[in-house]
Amino acid sequence: MAKMNYKKRFSDLEKRMVTSPDGEEFEVDPMKDYFSDARPKVHPPSKITPLENFMNWCRAESIYILGFGTGCGAIEMRPLMSPMYDAFRFGIHWRPTPRQSTVFVIGGYASVKTIKRIVRSYEQMQGPKWVIGLCSCTINGGMYWDSYNTVNRLDHYIPVDVYITGCMPRPEALLDGFTVLKKRIKEGRGEGSNEYAENFDWYKANQKKIIKSWDMPDYNW
Amino acid sequence: MLDYGLKNRELFPETKSDGTVDIDLSSGKYTKVWQGPNHPGITGNMSLELTLLGDEVMESKTHVGYLHRGFEKLMERRRFINNFPLVCRICVPEPDFNEYCYAAALEELAGVEVPENALWIRTLILEMARLQSYLMWLSGQVGAFGFGIPSQWMLYCRDRVLDMFEELSGARIYHIYMLPGGVRDNLPKGFKAKMRETLNDIVPLLRDYERVVFNNAVFKKRAKGLGYINPDWIEEYGITGPNARGAGVPKDVRKDNPYLKYPELEFLPVTETDSDVYARAHLRWRDVMMSVDLIRQILERTPDEGAFKADLPSMLHWKIPAGETYVNAECTRGEYGYYIVTDGSGYPRRVNVRGPSYTHAVTLAEKMMVNCNIADVAATLVSLHTYPPEVER
Amino acid sequence: MERIIENIKKQFPLQDVNSDHGWFITCEKKDVISLLTHLKITGGFTHLILITAVDWIEEDRFQLTYLLNNPQLKIRLGLRTFIERSVWPDESEMQSAHHLWPAVKTYQRELHEMFGIDFPGSPEVNDPLILEYWDDIPPYRRDFDTKKYSEETYFPREGRGSNDPAEYMKSQLYPNEGGKSQDFPQEISKKSSGEKNA
């Protein structure tokens, strides 16, 4: 049996000595240098209720979306930025990097190769953070319920706050979903990242079950 | 080609006689950068593994498969008509070419005659799909160069076309208006007038777009000479569509293997000769104008009433005799084709989708990115007009 | 077109010529590469449209199809060949055509990954193209059951009802006959619940 040759792909993650252009020699251990291995922590809400309410209001009114189109749903994200739907008036903004974003919109089905990137991007985002599951595929697999490469339930791999059904949901449905998310945040119910920290082992076990190329530490940012 | 990158060429590795370059990553001279899948300068969900020296790309490798859903497997499990909601999802930005190719292949194999009226409406839908996909691309191309406003204009135009799709089929993105044997219905009342009005509204914006973008000094400076496709590569790499026409090769399935009502319409394939990003962008802009013109011609000639669907046996019991065929159509990126094999049962034996991005995004992009500046990688990739979902299906 | 086929027939033994829905010719496995070279260089079929495989599991063989296009004469020709189908984890083998078109290597990578057909000598053929670390039967083979795999691997949401449309419509259309109809033989419906030999 001719097994696939993975050796070349792993070589990037091996320990090695590197000479800089200045002639300096130093050791690079990607598994240690590129990732962090600390577990996520639960951040309880502030004890001063008015302060917490004010914070939640601030969070809800400045939603920064990670611009990572993971599936077909991304096609309706673009019109939201256009003058016709104009999501900016809801305080919704797109950011290119996970470090600056607070909301991760999973656009549709997540294939196994993508869910690895979704998990990494999600863990790189700073809390408090929320996830919107777009389209039917994130709920129960949708059209691809019997496909060998797409996950059926997204909430087994990362916590989901709001689902938007439809295939494809219209931009208005998306805006409605954002409104619901805002309401949840203002009521203090958007606890996705805390949930993730509490049930960390369960989520990790589920993720490791399907991601066969697990070449990173458990938690990384 | 412009001379980008480091001035000191001694640092660069020598190219051997067979055209390959030895890259020693442990020397510390090189940087590995993954562009994508989570990256603003990537089209869709794919990634490029770039090996850089300074800011010049030495080696590029395309990684696809982030959107793989196993369509060709799923289709073997579903009946011919059950596959219809699946096929349109293969290529998200322009689903209609999938619907047409699949329906036409089934009609070819089953020997179904499609009524005249349905042919006209199909031609109309395909041209509208081409228009909206091109408008999205025009928005993306200038977006990659940092032009915000023309990009928004084009999105607005696209929304107008999508509204017309909604009027026609009830859906913005996945409009399953075609069915095997014809279309779902005749054009709704007043559709033609509304469509003409939409075209009249978007043409001035397109003219503005040309004035603002193609005469812009920054755009000219950056896009001219960038992303050159050698005309010799076209046959070798299987390049089709605007990427080939930009190099002066008039490859257009609408003319080469005429389908639907294209033989009766007046048009000539648009070609440019410079074969760089600027030429391809201008070619696509001219293609949009041609598409607008074609839609006007089609609206003129589409009948209002008449049979729009051939008589078929009960769809769920529909069995197609054994055979194989290949049906293609010209989509915005090139030749789109379906290869279908049947074995006489109610299920397809094998469906293979030939997306034009398949060769553009993998083999061609890997070749074109070499010696490209990292800041231009996104623009070059967008100018190839690749949609990852049709690469991996 | 007939003249081209006649010319090919003079030089290569063809098993079958089919022109029902487009031209498809069939030749022996050993002749494929020389015939492709001939078609490309002297026949003018310079544009390769696609390479794909069909799994005929009942006859224990794979069909490989090379679709070519002649841009000058604007004609299409499909070249088919049959190769032996080995049982996974053994891989079938075929000569590589990567020296004729650079784009061939991507198709061959995909075929290797999805059907388990090896093309020795083709560049990067062992690199996975689409799937990451797949260790089951190659998914496009007929004996791989995607529904079973999906149910075992992913978590199906409870309460999701799914009807096989054919069965469901049968019971709706012919309720008195126990869901049986004349024009719908029983053995076809057996196939619908997953591929055979699952």
B109-139 pLDDT tens trace: 888 888 888 889 999 999 999 999 999 888 8
A173: in domain = yes
Residue C106: per-residue pLDDT: 87
Q: What's the domain range around A146?
A: 62-210
Given a cut of 70, whether residue C22 has pLDDT beyond it is: yes
The mean pLDDT value for B3-7 works out to: 49
Segment C164-192, tens digit of pLDDT = 666 776 777 766 655 444 444 444 443 44
Whether A79 sits inside 8 A of B158 (CB atoms) is yes
Which DSSP string corresponds to A197-215? HHTHHHHHHHHHHH-S---
Q: Say what percent of chain B tops pLDDT 90.
A: 10
Q: How far is C103 from chain B (nearest CA, A)?
A: 5
Task: Find residues 132-171 of chain A whose CB sits inside 8 Å of chain C.
Answer: 139-141, 145-153, 156
- In the predicted model, is pLDDT for residue B39 greater than 70? yes
Residue B318 pLDDT level (bands cut at 50, 70, 90)? confident
pLDDT score recorded for residue A2: 37
How do the domains of chain B map onto residue ranges? Answer: 9-63, 71-355
* C-proximal residues of B, 275-334, CB under 8 Å: 314, 316-317, 319, 323-326, 328
Distance of CA B95 to the CA centre of its chain: 10
Average pLDDT over residues B310-327: 81
Q: Does B69 touch chain C (CB under 8 A)?
A: no
**Inside any domain, residue A16:** no
Give the domain ranges of chain C.
Answer: 2-132, 145-198
pLDDT of residue A1: 31
Does B335 reach chain C within 8 Å, measured CB to CB? yes
C122 — pLDDT class (breaks 50, 70, 90)? confident
Q: Hey, what CATH class is C2-132 in? A: alpha beta
pLDDT category at B203 given cuts 50, 70, 90 is very high
Average pLDDT over residues B323-336: 88
CA torsion, points A86, A88, A91, A96, in degrees to nearest 10?
Answer: 120
Whole-number pLDDT of residue A86: 84
The minimum CA-CA distance between A47 and chain B, rounded to whole Å, is: 37
**pLDDT tens profile B221-280:** 888 888 888 888 888 888 888 888 888 888 888 888 888 888 888 888 888 888 888 899
Query: What pLDDT, on the 0 to 100 scale, is given for residue B292?
Result: 92
Residues of chain A with pLDDT under 50: 1-10
pLDDT in tens, C53-111: 998 888 888 889 998 888 888 888 888 898 888 887 788 888 888 888 888 888 888 88
Distance CA B38, CA A116 (A): 12
Of B95-99, B307-311, B312-316, C190-194, where does mean pLDDT reach its minimum? C190-194
The pLDDT score that the predictor gives to residue A8 is 44
Q: How many Å is the maximal CA-CA distance in chain B?
A: 72
Average pLDDT taken over every residue of chain B: 84
Residue-level pLDDT at A204: 86
Percent residues over pLDDT 90 in chain C: 1
Q: Which residues of A touch B388 (CB under 8 A)?
A: none
Of all residues in chain B, the percent with pLDDT exceeding 70 is 93
CATH code (residue A199): 3.40.50.12280
The pLDDT assigned to C183 comes to 45
B6 pLDDT tier (thresholds 50, 70, 90): low
Chains near A, with 3+ CB pairs < 8 A?
Answer: B, C
Measured between beta carbons, which residues in chain A are less than 8 angstroms from residue C192?
A: none
Q: How far apart are the first and last CA of chain A?
A: 38
Cα angle: B238, vertex B253, B170; to 5 degrees: 110
- Please report, for residues B204, C54, C170, the alpha-carbon distance to residue B211 in angstroms, rounded to integers and kept in the order given: 11, 51, 60
User: Domains in chain A: how many in total?
Assistant: 1
* Cα distance between residue B362 and residue B380, in whole Å: 13
Question: Is the confidence at residue B58, as pLDDT, over 60?
Answer: yes
Q: If you classify domain B71-355 with CATH, what class do you get?
A: mainly alpha
Could you report the predicted ipTM of this complex, rounded to two decimals? Answer: 0.84
Residue of B46, B257, B358, B359 to mutate, interface with C, max C Cβ within 10 Å:
B359
Chain B CA closest to residue A23: B28
pLDDT of residue C177: 59
